[in-house]
Chain A
Amino acid sequence: MTGKLLSESSEWTFDLIERYDREIARIAAGYGLDTYPNQIEVISAEQMMDAYSSVGMPVNYHHWSFGKAFLGVEQRYRRGHMGLAYEIVINSNPCIAYLMEENSMTMQALVIAHAAYGHNSFFKGNYLFQTWTNADAIVDYLLFAKNYIAECEQRYGEQEVELLLDSCHALMNYGVDRYKRPSRLSAEQERRRQKEREEYLQSQVNDLWRTLPVRGGDTSTEDETRFPAEPQENLLYFIEKNAPLLKPWQREIVRIVRKVAQYFYPQRQTQVMNEGWATFWHYTILNTLYDEGLVDDGFMMEFLQSHTNVVAQPPYNSKFYSGINPYALGFAMMSDLRRICEQPTDEDRHWFPDIAGGDWIKTLDFAMRNFKDESFIAQYLSPKLIREFKLFSVLDDDAQEQLEISAIHDDRGYRYIRQSLADQYNLGSREPNIQVYNVNRRGDRSLTLRHTQYSRRPLGDSAEEVVRHIARLWGFTVRLEAVGEDGRVEVAQECEVEH
């Protein structure tokens, strides 16, 4: 029996990692996980902090905010406030996963199963990642971006570039067409087409602004057709294409930030699913290793302890509570799907008639490929899980004196809670809905944005600063209007630019 064990001590070696990886790859393939090739890199804790602060990317352009992130991480790590994550994995082809040298062999195996096969297959399979990211090109593109920005810094000065990046970063969450499929990122094409684009864009912008502005205000603009004809949600794109005063290189940088933002867009929407999927698979794969007699009890004890920590969900009244743990919810839902397939109850047959008793591998695969957090929860959160998590929903309406418990984990509440939780993961409700409404083309060239309020929620204090950033990019006055639920429009922020 012991002869089959892959390792007997907790020390790892490169040889051992390779043996574990081979076994894990075999098991993963047996479960039908389709992955990019893996590139597993062993790094030190400091390098892990580096990776952290450049949002996990192996290359990135330079910016002080990454330095700030690094200092923050370093400080918390030194004080022991946080352990470093065991892994960082990059959605690229080959899929790059980092292993920290401090980890024991068990942890390395866990990370390999979690990142190199769990996340990896999610990156490759999920529709959002397929739509929004191009794993083949991202590293090349970032390299292009880094070099381009470094070149701009040399030519136009670090400060200049930094201010521009600050402004772009403020709008990073508004750099995505949520309803339109983007074109693919390709570093090669980027380089080739960048020059042409510069010239072409500049001519387009000039065309748009051919009309000389009329000084002293023009009241007739109200009657004219608005520009853009339809409100635009992709602020960065709109600015890149239409901001009157940006120079070609500045447009290119806006574009770079937008493309990078777009790359991270799927991650923000699939946290529960992505982590749940990876956690489910490391759990399943390592258990299979154990069942096959390849690892011993000590290995499993260490693994389970760490796994249990990761998927712990403290209740709302615990001092450790900080919202719902995406690992816990995701892992529970994925495991629950398997249970519904393998051991369905009458309740499951009633709620999930099409999957109860089905093939669990196919069901999970389908769920992984075709959902994001919001729809995944709306589709698959089962009454059993709602009971297990003892979920309840609290309504906080500032028009009411008191908070109200709107639903709990009972027959009447299941659907309500499921919907309410799904909404919580809807980007539309998490982030203010702000769109470009109009540009005063014949008058003062001012840009008007509209914030369509969601459930009467106002904007936070930082809005004023963000508007200033937009004004820096736009070069003329920027106005932010708030549209209430009743359709009333009022000016919330205005930032004038003197000329």
Chain B
Amino acid sequence: MTQLIDRRLNGRNKSAVNRQRFIRRFKAQIKRAVADAVSGRSIVDIDSGEKVNIPARDMSEPVFQHGAGGRREAVHPGNTDFIAGDKLKRPPDAAGGQGGKAGNGEEGEDDFAFQLSREEFLELFFEDLALPDMVKTQLAKLVDFKSVRAGHTSDGVPTNINVIRSLRGALARRIALRGPHMKRLREVNAELTALQPEPVDEDEEQTPRALELQAEVRHLKRRIESIPFIDTFDLRYNNRIREPKPTTQAVMFCLMDVSGSMDEERKDIAKRFFILLYLFLTRNYERIDVVFIRHHTSAREVDEEEFFHSRETGGTVVSSALKLMQEIIRDRYPAGEWNLYAAQASDGDNWDNDSVTCRNLLISKIMPSLQYFAYVEITPDAHQSLWDEYERVAEVWSNFAMQHLQGPQDIYPVFRELFRKRVK
């Protein structure tokens, strides 16, 4: 008696829970490994899994077992030239190596290596970071609605009439209202039949009682017929209510100064910063649009390739980029439907009188609709006017953050600082 079952369609991840528990249990060690990995490899390809090594002794499962020493005898196969009584030098590594259970001893020293998935790696990488106001946006700022079914109501618009429900109600009503008349009709008919077993002709003489009964039959039938087939009272309408739906889409604006003063190295730093921000957003939103805006004296929306790789020369007018961003928001990303994030990278150069324009633009026009604005200044030199003006923006808007980067090694700490979990 054999039963053959195809289990391939069953869940594959039976061990997922155990895997999670393992990771939770050795979180400290794994995080250390993740930190090493982050510093060890380029952040650009951060978006993949990572092999993690943990010293095996940290996670041993101890059991009672024999240690080295004592007297032990072991049988081995494949004798070639020993005879009984031969004496041998003890092999150097073999204190326990001759025993049948030598395997355990070796494994103990090795590292336990395994692969973290991309999700797990990023989870740890992003741990205790959270986007500012994200919770607020997701839970409080409920701006989008979807319509869901919610039973039936007794009034509504004709298009929502539920035919089955309505007719069922009508049938029940008809049966209920007809009941007493039908009963009486049966009684009257019975009496009439008793009175006149044979059908009689019209002109034949009838007893007054029979005439009376016949009249009642007619009356009852009329009453029954007058019950309406369907009544407004019977109508039932499908009820739909609007349920608020949290927004799960975000748009991220990458603003970068591409004037002559931004060299390849600085652009590279900026790129890494944008990538980290992007990765972080992918953790929290289902759909993310990225808009690249590059500017020197005028701003232009470009694709990613051009954003990072083509060079231009000339002066710098930061406000041109901010204006363009504002227009794009107005045209394509209404703040009610999108979570808006902006990240700006610059070397801090700007035309002096433009910095004030930037400040005003940000404070009054742009910041109200943004979730977050992160500004990083990539320069080894002293700050210029833009930084000063932005500091004033940061005073007004708590979701405006700014940081100073000097080299690639600063990115990660700055990133953490920018998106540190805010204590409410």
Contacts and interface: CB of A to CB of B under 8 A. Distances in A.
Interface string A293-330: 00000000000000000000111111001111000000
B22 A68 contact: yes
Contacts of B102: 323
B101 interface: yes
A94 interface: yes
Nearest to B9: A44
A403 B92 CA distance: 12
Interface in B8-22: 8, 10, 12-15, 17-22
B67 A54 contact: no
A37 B3 contact: yes
A460 B15 contact: no
Interface in A209-228: none
A322 B99 CA distance: 10
Which of B15, B62, B65 has the most chain A CB atoms inside 10 A of its CB? Answer: B15
B98 interface: yes
A173 B63 contact: yes
Given A63-B21, A313-B77, A407-B84, A172 B114 contact: no
Interface stretch (B68-76, B141-149, B291-299, B414-422): B68-76
Contacts of B2: 18, 21, 25, 37-40, 116
Contact of B86 (A18, A42, A116, A404): A404
Interface in A70-86: 70-72, 74-75, 78
B6 A14 contact: yes
B22 A403 contact: no
B384 interface: no
Contacts, number: 278
Interface stretch (A180-188, A251-259, A346-354, A391-399): A391-399
Contact of B79 (A53, A323, A390, A466): A390
A317 to B, nearest CB: 7
B94 to A, nearest CB: 8
Given A21-B2, A38-B2, A315-B77, A455 B72 contact: yes
Given A423-B73, A424-B100, A94 B89 contact: no
Given A459-B64, A460-B67, A421 B84 contact: no
Contacts of A25: 2
Given A17-B4, A455-B72, A460-B67, A408 B90 contact: no
Given A37-B1, A50-B14, A390-B77, A431 B64 contact: yes
Interface in A332-360: none
B232 interface: no
B77 A432 contact: no
B276 to A, nearest CB: 27
B71 to A, nearest CB: 4
Contacts of B24: 64
Interface of A: 14, 17-18, 21, 25, 37-44, 46-47, 49-51, 53-54, 62-68, 70-72, 74-75, 78, 94, 98, 101, 116, 158, 162, 166, 169-174, 313-318, 321-324, 389-399, 401-410, 412-413, 417, 420-421, 423-424, 430-432, 434, 451, 453-463, 465-466, 469
22 contacts: A38-B1, A43-B7, A50-B12, A65-B61, A67-B20, A70-B15, A71-B22, A75-B113, A75-B115, A98-B7, A162-B21, A171-B63, A322-B103, A390-B77, A391-B77, A392-B82, A398-B69, A405-B82, A431-B65, A457-B67, A458-B69, A460-B68
Given A54-B18, A398-B70, A456-B70, 12 more contacts: A43-B8, A65-B61, A314-B78, A316-B77, A394-B88, A401-B90, A403-B87, A408-B82, A430-B100, A432-B66, A434-B64, A451-B64
